[in-house]
Amino acid sequence: MNPSQDLCGRAGLRVGWLSSGGFGHTLGRLIGYGCVRKADGVTEDWMKSGRYTLEVASERVPCQIHAAALYDPSDLRVRC
């Protein structure tokens, strides 16, 4: 993990990092993209069972993990 990146924590352990973030206008809230890792592999059940924080500017803030797309997860919108 790159120490200059915002770190993702779970149960007090560092499990990943935030690679980018910004405001999601279609969602009306802040969003971030990142990665979580675990030595024996990450499953969807493992991701859903934990509580997560991001360490941003030396402050831990709660966050949620979503495995599906945040907007149009069923891919119902027409693409051009």
pLDDT 10s digits, 30-70 = 888 888 999 999 998 998 898 999 887 788 889 888 877 77
**Residue numbers of the domain that contains 41:** 6-63
Query: Which one is predicted more confidently, 2 or 42?
Result: 42
Pairing between β-strand 59-63 and β-strand 13-24 as defined by DSSP bridges: unpaired
Q: Does the residue 72 lie in any domain?
A: no
Q: Does the residue 77 lie in any domain?
A: no
Write the DSSP assignment of 28-51 as a string of letters: TEEEEEEEE--TT---HHHHHHS-
Q: Does the residue 12 lie in any domain?
A: yes
Q: What is the pLDDT of residues 10-19, one digit of tens each?
A: 888 889 988 8
Q: Find all residues with CB under 8 Å of 36, minimum gap 6, and list them.
A: 8, 10, 15, 16, 42, 47, 65
- Number of structural domains (the chain) is 1
pLDDT bucket at 5, cuts 50 / 70 / 90: low
pLDDT at 39: 92
